[in-house]
A = this chain, B = another copy of it.
């Protein structure tokens, strides 16, 4: 077993073994690029260490051998007293885990070698500052000393010296600090800072191994769904220094603009500095173009290298580099992150340039990116300055009056105002306020905070963790970093895509991508600002971006449609929604819920049905509903003419159509207590009590209602059949499918199917038309999944209701838990993502997969679809493709996302099929 690999040995395809950083360093080395020499200790060694608690046999020897090679190649020895080799020890896992694991620089400096470094560099200050950094980093990272101790000592020294910046400390200051830091190390860790360079190296390697299993790393992995058993590689790289004078420096670069995708050179450069100084933001960086002026040779070389890398990686690369006394060194490269717009645009460009094909381009954009482009955005042509920035927790652009508590938010919303709820953090009491608001802004919390989780769940724009804002709920105001004060009622705007907060109302424009998907022309740029204004100039440029992004989106959507195996249908309950879904590319309605049709003005009729004392009264109510239902179905079947429309028979419990028990109890009791009893309300209360359930989600609903309330489902089936008959008479092609909800046992479905077939046959006879509709069922209970074999005998299709299936499989109801323990669970990494957002493949998904498989065993032509909200979620769509469902159905607005992801998923499965 080989554990250590020289950079000359590996390649970019060995990320499993060498980690991302190591694999790319090896790749650049083999491309002949100027990479400092070094070697990589494999993830295999890390896994062995973590399993056994000690380094695997032979590892020490291998390191020794590679270190010797490195020393002879560099003509220096590690920690040599006269001309020391220094190395960095860097973590590097297969998947990027930014900031989660450890790195130690300047390994090899000791009380002896610091003098050698000073002599060779001709710079005492540089040498002692490097040693100071090593003791600090090593103490904190390897020996577990509280970093605050070092920071405090450094700050005290600067205060004593009356200076602001580290740069202004003298050599003596730094020498004293090194001594002080070593004291801290001894005091805190009970051990001396090691003066043997090889010991430094071994301890640093071990520390990197162990950093794989810190709590924060574990939680991060759970949240990002990175497996726990990968381990990290460790890269030992010869140090190069960007802080050796004005002919040195360090920078980052991108081969294309990661914000817009525009081709050209983008990046930042900081002369006379090390990478960590850039991160610390001590000085302002220069635009990369400035490097041409400072060091034309290095700049030209860098541009050559960037072209080489893009041609080689066939994608936008980001790069970290250092110039040491005029010599350029490449420290890292990888395929770079980019905005949603840039992702589409770059993919399109690369196809145009003949570098990749359309399959590859499709694999490089995601549904999540498309979704981001589909939200309304603040008008890019409008001038604006953000007052603060937090985390983008739930996308969209929201404008409204700041409200500092939920009661106010609800009150203002009820009188018609747009509201932004502003809180330090939210809790379950804020739920009503969040529902009433356009957007939610908090000064605390991360992406898994209550506000973030709940807002995403309900589709509200949300920005969290804007720590620069000081929110004072009692004063009903917040102050911005530059001292402005926003009080209750002031209008603010928040951008859920970027995390920015603005004062005043920014103009919101619809998404150009959505316009294009609907086949509409994009709105012309806003005409309000003069042609000479800066806004207009920016508008021009962003207009180009917009056009190119839209064109790339349309092109990749077309390709996704060519590739995808699954159909995409939509969940829609009205003709208007159905038309919108069809315009966005839906091939049918996968879920038409009928419960909304029982509300509004019809609620009174439904109340009559429920309160009926005799079968005649009840039938009279049902007869009144029938023409209304027929009109509902006619409208939606007409809108989807020629395409399937899956109509779900009534699902929720009856008492949902009656007033709330507690409200009504209070009304009746107060009336009686105050001498004005309300007999009608009291009678209604008796009925509400009779129908009350402890757990309505687990009560008499769905097919149970249909089996127990005479005539209810029959009314619906008859209305469907009559609607279809009338459309047929008009020469149209209605394709209703009748779907029975909440089936747990095949006997339930058989009973409803028999009734439905008889009713359809009656209508066929009455109208003289040939009517025959597929009858199927939701699979939304674990028992239905477990007995799918039997249920498929009576069902022509299964539609997986993964919302309800998630609720019963996990035993929690969405209403109750998203606002209570979900944030804690996400925080602890019990789930990486809410199972209501993305399907839980191990639990819920396993049930879906069993049911799909066993259903097909019974009935080969069983149609399989999914109509839960997971139908529009990218990861879930990939899962559904992997188990070969026939279609996904999602809300109309998610249809493009689902089309794109279904196409991408088909690529993946094709790929895996051909392996």
Cα A242 to Cα B240 with chains together (Å): 116
CB atoms of B782 and A825 under 8 A apart: no
Instruction: Pick from A307-315, A838-846, A865-873 the stretch touching chain B.
Output: A838-846
Assess whether B828 is in contact with A751, with CB atoms less than 8 Å apart.
yes
The answer for the CA separation of A828 and B815 in the assembled complex, in Å, is 33
Q: Is the interface of A mostly helix, strand, loop or mixed?
A: helix
A832 to chain B, nearest CB (A): 10
Each complex incorporates copies of this chain amounting to 2
Query: Is A163 part of the contact surface with B, judged by Cβ < 8 Å?
Result: no
Interchain CB contact (< 8 A) of A786 among B807, B813, B846? B846
Interface presence of A518 (CB below 8 A): no
With A and B bound together, what is the CA distance between A842 and B790 in angstroms? 10
Is A787 among interface residues, defined by CB-CB distance under 8 A? Answer: yes
Question: A745: nearest residue on chain B (CB-CB)?
Answer: B830
**Complex interface: chain B residues within 8 A of A817 (CB):** 698-700, 704
| Bound form: Cα–Cα A808–B812 in Å | 9
By a CB distance below 8 angstroms, the chain B residues around A843 are 744-745, 782-783, 786-787
The residue in chain B whose Cβ has the minimal distance to the Cβ of A782 is B782
Within 8 A of B (CB), among A801-826: 804, 807-813, 815-817, 820-821, 824-825
Q: Which of A45-53, A572-580, A688-696 contacts B (4 or more CB under 8 A)?
A: A688-696
Q: Is the CB of B809 within 8 A of A786?
A: yes
Q: How far is the CA of A514 from the CA of B180 in the complex (A)?
A: 82
Select one of B693, B707, B783, B825 contacting A844, CB under 8 A: B783
Judged by a CB distance under 8 angstroms, whether A523 is at the interface is no
Indicate if A673 sits at the interface (CB-CB under 8 A).
Answer: yes
Assembly CA distance A820 to B699 (angstroms): 9
What residue of chain B has the Cβ atom nearest to residue A674's Cβ?
B673
**When chains A and B are docked, how far (Å) is the Cα of A173 from the Cα of B416?**
89
Q: Assess whether B708 is in contact with A824, with CB atoms less than 8 Å apart.
A: yes
Known: A781-B811, A787-B842, A787-B843. A698 touches B698 (CB 8 A): yes
Segment among A109-117, A141-149, A663-671, A904-912 that sits at the interface with chain B: A663-671
Cα distance, A153 to B846, chains bound together (Å): 65
- Give the docked Cα–Cα distance between A707 and B821 (Å): 9
In angstroms, how far is the closest chain B Cβ from the Cβ of A228? 11
A820–B692 alpha-carbon span in the complex (Å)? 11
The distance in angstroms between the C-alpha atoms of A751 and B824, with both chains bound, is 13
User: Interface size for chain A: under 10, 10 to 19, 20 to 34, or 35 or more residues?
Assistant: 35 or more
Q: Does A120 contact B (CB under 8 A)?
A: no
Give the residue name and chain of the B residue nearest to A811 (CB): B781
Q: Can you list, as one digit per residue, whether each of A674-714 has a CB less than 8 Å from chain B (1) or not (0)?
A: 10000000000000001001111111100010011000000
- Whether the Cβ atoms of A708 and B821 lie closer than 8 Å is yes
Once the chains bind, are A816 and B695 in contact (CB under 8 Å)? yes
A360: interface (CB < 8 Å) = no
Q: Mark A780-808, 1 if CB is under 8 A from B, else 0.
A: 11110011001000000000000010011
A846 to B665, CA, bound (A): 44
How far is it, in angstroms, between the C-alpha of A844 and the C-alpha of B669 when the chains are bound?
Answer: 44
Is A644's beta carbon under 8 Å from chain B? Answer: no
- A816 is contacted by which of B693, B830, B842, B846 (Cβ under 8 Å)? B693
Q: Is A4 an interface residue (CB 8 A)?
A: no
A428 CB to closest chain B CB, in angstroms? 7
Given the complex, which residues of B lie within 8 Å of A744, measured CB to CB?
Answer: 809-812, 843
Q: How far is the CB of A406 from chain B (nearest CB, A)?
A: 12
Contacting pair B816 A700 (CB below 8 A): yes
How long is the Cα–Cα vector from A812 to B742 in the complex, in angstroms?
10
> Please, what's the 1-or-0 string for A753-787, where 1 marks a CB less than 8 Å from any CB in chain B?
00000000000000000000000000011110011
A222 contacts across to B, CB distance below 8 A: 747
A193 in the interface (beta carbon within 8 A): no
| Cα distance, A807 to B576, chains bound together (Å) | 38
Task: Determine if B748 and A830 form an interchain contact, defined as CB atoms under 8 angstroms apart.
Answer: yes
Q: What are 11 A-B pairs with beta-carbon distances under 8 A?
A: A669-B669, A693-B815, A694-B813, A698-B812, A699-B817, A704-B812, A707-B824, A781-B809, A782-B843, A783-B844, A786-B809
Q: Which 10 residue pairs spanning A and B have beta carbons closest together?
A: A783-B843, A698-B813, A782-B782, A699-B816, A695-B813, A781-B811, A666-B669, A747-B830, A695-B695, A693-B816
18 additional A-B residue pairs with CB within 8 Å, beyond A665-B665, A786-B809: A429-B690, A661-B662, A669-B670, A693-B815, A695-B695, A698-B812, A699-B816, A700-B820, A707-B825, A708-B820, A708-B824, A744-B811, A744-B812, A782-B811, A782-B843, A783-B811, A790-B842, A804-B811
